[in-house]
């Protein structure tokens, strides 16, 4: 059995340390108030039993809580008080320097929590360690100087989650839609170097990847680009090749018709498109940003984003190449093709590609094949999005964060504008904690919702105020050279923080468990569903009120919990104990999702969750868990067609793993080791070495490849198939 020390290091459980700590407190009281040796051993045994029952590594803080409870329950209050005082004094001493041990454990690669904090960052790499070290300093500064004590306390207790405090000390925002069109058509500057309008599609792709890396180093969230901003350069290359071919034929004295010239040029063009797409795929994966990982980038593929005619045909050609290359995958160090985490792909379903009779059905079939093999693309229904977003269709920023619809005509000529807009940040409300704190008293529940959402509002305003007064000079590629704006040097970004230009997100988590506690049933039950929808509407109403009061675009956001799901679960168990169906897992459910263990078919799940997705306008995504679908593309297509008619944004979770030791391709399993810890195992050779496996799983809207904490790993293990 293992425990997690305050430094984050994982070590074996040692009951002697508990005995020694109790004995120290024991000797601080008179003989008549002391515990006997047998009583001390009983408390140690009780703590050991409680730790074993957690099915995860307990933290030192949790163990100390258990000791306190054991002393109090045994009636030895004087010893308990001495123990609490001793613990408090040591805690105060630790507060004088909160970061040293954390940083040292990161450098020495012994911090178990950091190892599993981000499923796309390898903490053994120097650049990742450097980012984590800076993050520890930022969190310390944020905790001690930048946030009010009650917000810090609520964050530490898991009542709310103040996201990305490891970047909060800097004046940085979350995620964005890159205005690649402006940067390519009007030129940009990267690292103080002028980049002019590209003269070919290949060059445009190269510029795009360089700017993606710059943008990723200037913010902390995901970014999205659209292929429609790249596709005009396909025809630029086409015209160039036609000129070259014509000149080559003339120099060689070869008589050729215009049709023959165009045919040869088109062959060269297709080769360039292939190389351009390859640049995007490989450079995105191999570029390293300042936070020690590949850029978190989403590529948007929407045919109707460009007019009918040659440019749409060119876009179809680029999409086809993008899908074919992703189906192939990328080679790992063994030379075997595997599933990469990025770029994330989104394919838009619309009238011209959703039925076998439609013009671009061939692309939809190719997308289905890609999903079956590589888990992407994800799917946006243009039909449902128009219903939800006042007629507009546009991508999310990163994995799921959506901008508020443009009703004001933010574009230069009054047109609706989406590219160049961004998100200011997120604070998430733990709905399970609200429910458990109410004791099933609905009146108290809504009173607590008022209190907790007001806390979230103040935390969100802290994020907003941190950005106020930020000069454009902090990130020239974003604010001065077209990615988000064309501000002057020294000009502040304040105008972009109001008037619907950017969003700020109230996140929520655990709607399923919240409903289960309050109503005794999950939200898929009719009685629970009404209550859950009421909660969602309440949160939307809060955002609307804050938006009206401040002219800041607050929006409700279905938080993609990664490491936070484990944190919330541990805090809930600490505060409320184990409650069946509510706090009995090492994770809580993302946003409005049906619980991962609940048996429900894919179509029922998507239809049910669509009602909740409509009430999560700041961002949300639904998924269905499926087996290997490579030999059943018709089933994948059926799900895609159902998505088009029923839900705005959804994905299919397939499995595509590889064991480097034995060459196994398929699904690598999660098993429990002798210490009760969840580990990964090759079903073919029994390999447990994560360094010799390539595992890709959808974590919460995006693919992770660097493994997960014990809470998220348990959630992945317990997922049931929906198809």
Distances (CA, A) of 34 to 38, 65, 78: 11, 19, 8
pLDDT at 102: 65
Please give the residue range of the domain that contains residue 252.
Answer: 176-357
Tell which of 77, 96, 115 closes a domain. Answer: 96
Classify burial at 567, counting beta carbons within 10 Å of its beta carbon; exposed 0-12, middle 13-18, buried 19 or more: buried
Start-to-end Cα distance in the chain: 37
> Do 662 and 653 form a contact (C-beta atoms < 8 A)?
no
How sure is the predictor about 415, in pLDDT bands with cuts at 50, 70 and 90? very high
Q: Which residue has the tokens 């970014």?
A: 223
Whether 319 and 456 share a structural domain: no
Whether 204 and 56 share a structural domain: no
Instruction: Please tell me what DSSP assigns to residue 385.
Output: H
> Do 219 and 478 form a contact (C-beta atoms < 8 A)?
yes
pLDDT at 119 over 90: no
Whether 193 and 323 share a structural domain: yes
In a domain, 27, yes or no: yes
Q: In what order do the strands lie in the sheet with 58-59?
A: 10-12, 2-4, 58-59
How sure is the predictor about 123, in pLDDT bands with cuts at 50, 70 and 90? low
Q: How far apart are CA 138 and CA 168, in angstroms?
A: 7
pLDDT at 714 over 80: yes
Whether 436 and 500 share a structural domain: yes
> Do 113 and 16 form a contact (C-beta atoms < 8 A)?
no
pLDDT at 459: 98
Q: What is the pLDDT of residues 4-29, one digit of tens each?
A: 886 667 788 899 999 999 999 998 88
Q: What is the pLDDT of residues 262-310, one digit of tens each?
A: 999 999 999 999 999 999 998 888 775 555 567 889 999 999 999 999 9
pLDDT at 60: 87
Whether 152 and 91 share a structural domain: no
Whether 500 and 544 share a structural domain: yes
> Do 256 and 242 form a contact (C-beta atoms < 8 A)?
no
Whether 223 and 351 share a structural domain: yes
pLDDT at 553 over 80: yes
Query: Please, what is the average pLDDT of the chain?
Result: 91
Q: What is the pLDDT of residues 593-609, one digit of tens each?
A: 999 999 999 999 999 99
Whether 345 and 208 share a structural domain: yes
Average pLDDT for residues 336-350, to the nearest whole number? Answer: 91
pLDDT at 315 over 90: yes
Whether 31 and 163 share a structural domain: no
Q: How many structural domains is the chain composed of? A: 3
> Do 428 and 459 form a contact (C-beta atoms < 8 A)?
no
Helices 310-328 and 258-286: crossing angle in degrees, nearest 10, is 50
pLDDT at 144 over 60: yes
In a domain, 37, yes or no: yes
How sure is the predictor about 656, in pLDDT bands with cuts at 50, 70 and 90? confident
Q: How far apart are CA 190 and CA 213, in angstroms?
A: 10
Query: DSSP letters of 464-482?
Result: HHHHTT-BGGGSHHHHTSS
Measure the CA dihedral 111/114/115/121, to 10°. Answer: -150
Pairing of strands 330-331, 297-301: unpaired
Q: What is the pLDDT of residues 57-96, one digit of tens each?
A: 888 888 988 999 899 899 888 898 888 887 766 665 555 4
Q: Which residue has the tokens 């309050």?
A: 518
pLDDT at 479 over 80: yes
Q: Which residue has the higher pLDDT, 657 or 259?
A: 259
Report which of 660, 719, 655, 653 is spatially closest to residue 690, judged by C-alpha positions. 660
pLDDT at 149: 94
Q: Which residue has the higher pLDDT, 503 or 2?
A: 503
In a domain, 313, yes or no: yes
Phi, psi values for residue 383, rounded to 5°: -60, -50
Average pLDDT for residues 305-318, to the nearest whole number? Answer: 98
Helices 564-576 and 710-717: crossing angle in degrees, nearest 10, is 100
Q: Which residue has the higher pLDDT, 193 or 125?
A: 193
pLDDT at 414: 94
Whether 542 and 480 share a structural domain: yes
Distances (CA, A) of 14 to 5, 11, 17, 296, 454: 12, 9, 6, 41, 42
> Do 522 and 528 form a contact (C-beta atoms < 8 A)?
yes
Q: How far apart are CA 209 and CA 228, in angstroms?
A: 15
pLDDT at 563: 79
Whether 462 and 431 share a structural domain: yes
In a domain, 462, yes or no: yes
pLDDT at 552: 98
pLDDT at 121: 56
Percent of the residues in the chain that have a pLDDT greater than 90, as a whole number: 70
What kind and span of H or E run contains 568? helix 564-576
Classify burial at 635, counting beta carbons within 10 Å of its beta carbon; exposed 0-12, middle 13-18, buried 19 or more: middle
In a domain, 467, yes or no: yes
Average pLDDT for residues 639-653, to the nearest whole number? Answer: 97
Whether 181 and 168 share a structural domain: no
Q: Hey, which residues are catalytic here?
A: 174-175, 397, 399, 401, 423, 557, 562, 701
Q: What is the pLDDT of residues 213-236, one digit of tens each?
A: 999 989 999 999 999 999 999 999
Identify the three-state secondary structure at position 226.
Answer: strand
In a domain, 298, yes or no: yes
In a domain, 203, yes or no: yes
Q: What is the pLDDT of residues 428-460, one digit of tens each?
A: 999 999 999 999 999 999 999 999 999 999 999
pLDDT at 94: 54
Q: How far apart are CA 63 and CA 69, in angstroms?
A: 10
In a domain, 437, yes or no: yes
Report which of 237, 349, 425 is spatially closest to residue 642, judged by C-alpha positions. 349
């Amino acid at each position: 059995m293992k425990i997690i020390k305050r430094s984050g290091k994982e070590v074996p459980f040692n009951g002697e340390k508990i005995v020694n700590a109790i004995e120290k407190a024991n000797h601080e009281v008179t003989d008549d108030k002391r515990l006997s040796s047998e009583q001390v051993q009983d408390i140690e045994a009780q703590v050991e039993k409680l730790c074993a029952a957690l099915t995860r590594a307990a933290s030192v803080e949790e163990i100390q809580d258990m000791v306190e409870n054991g002393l109090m329950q045994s009636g030895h209050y004087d010893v308990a008080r001495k123990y609490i005082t001793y613990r408090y004094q040591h805690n105060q001493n630790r507060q004088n320097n909160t970061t040293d041990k954390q940083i040292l454990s990161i450098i020495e690669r012994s911090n178990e929590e950091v190892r599993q904090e981000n499923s796309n960052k390898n903490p053994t790499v120097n650049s990742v360690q450097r980012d984590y070290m800076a993050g520890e300093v930022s969190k310390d500064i944020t905790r001690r100087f930048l946030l009010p004590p009650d917000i810090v306390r609520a964050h530490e207790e898991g009542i709310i989650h103040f996201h990305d405090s490891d970047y909060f000390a800097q004046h940085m925002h979350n995620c964005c839609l890159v205005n690649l069109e402006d940067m390519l058509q009007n030129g940009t500057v990267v690292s103080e170097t002028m980049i002019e309008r590209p003269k070919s599609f290949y060059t445009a792709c190269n510029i795009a990847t360089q700017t993606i890396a710059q943008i990723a180093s200037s913010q902390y969230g995901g970014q999205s680009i659209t292929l429609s901003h790249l596709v005009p350069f396909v025809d630029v290359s086409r015209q160039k090749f036609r000129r070259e071919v014509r000149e080559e034929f003339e120099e060689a004295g070869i008589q050729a018709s215009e049709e023959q010239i165009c045919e040869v040029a088109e062959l060269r063009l297709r080769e360039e498109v292939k190389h351009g797409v390859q640049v995007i795929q490989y450079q995105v994966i191999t570029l390293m940003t300042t936070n020690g990982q590949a850029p978190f980038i989403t590529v948007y593929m929407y045919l109707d984003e460009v007019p009918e005619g040659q440019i749409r045909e060119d876009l179809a050609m680029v999409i086809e190449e993008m899908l074919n290359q992703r189906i192939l995958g990328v080679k790992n160090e063994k030379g075997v093709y595997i599933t990469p985490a990025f770029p994330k792909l989104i394919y838009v379903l619309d009238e011209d590609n959703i039925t076998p009779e439609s013009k671009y059905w061939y692309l939809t079939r190719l997308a289905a094949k890609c999903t079956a093999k590589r888990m992407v693309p994800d799917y946006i229904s243009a039909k449902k999005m128009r219903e939800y977003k006042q007629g507009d269709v546009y991508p999310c920023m990163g994995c799921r964060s959506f901008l508020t619809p443009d009703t004001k005509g933010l574009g230069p000529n009054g047109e609706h504008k989406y590219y160049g807009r961004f998100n200011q940040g997120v604070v998430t409300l733990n709905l399970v904690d609200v429910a458990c704190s109410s004791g099933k008293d609905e009146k108290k529940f809504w009173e607590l919702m008022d209190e907790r959402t007001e806390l979230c509002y103040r935390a969100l305003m802290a994020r907003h105020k941190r950005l106020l007064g930020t000069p454009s000079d902090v990130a020239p590629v974003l604010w001065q050279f077209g990615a988000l704006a064309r501000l002057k040097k020294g000009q502040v970004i304040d105008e972009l923080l109001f008037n619907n230009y950017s969003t700020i997100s109230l996140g929520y988590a655990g709607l399923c468990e919240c409903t289960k506690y309050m109503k005794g049933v999950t939200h898929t039950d009719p009685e629970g569903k009404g209550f859950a929808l009421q909660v969602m509407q309440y949160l939307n109403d809060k955002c609307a009120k804050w938006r009206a009061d401040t002219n800041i675009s607050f929006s409700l956001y279905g938080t993609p919990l990664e490491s936070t799901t484990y944190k919330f679960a541990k805090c809930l168990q600490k505060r409320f104990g184990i409650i069946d169906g509510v706090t009995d897992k090492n994770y809580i459910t993302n946003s409005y999702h049906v619980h991962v263990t609940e048996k429900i078919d894919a179509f029922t799940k998507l239809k049910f969750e669509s009602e909740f997705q409509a009430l999560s306008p700041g961002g949300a995504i639904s998924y269905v868990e499926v087996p290997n679908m490579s030999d059943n593309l018709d089933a994948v297509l059926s799900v895609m067609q159902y998505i088009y008619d029923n839900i705005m944004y959804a994905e299919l979770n397939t499995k595509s793993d590889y064991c480097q030791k034995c060459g196994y391709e398929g699904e690598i399993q999660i098993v429990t080791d002798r210490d009760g810890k969840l580990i990964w195992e090759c079903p073919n050779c029994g390999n447990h070495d994560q360094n010799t496996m390539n595992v890709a799983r959808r974590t919460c809207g995006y693919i992770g490849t660097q493994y997960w904490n014990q809470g998220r790993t348990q959630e992945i293990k317990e997922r049931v198939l929906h198809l």
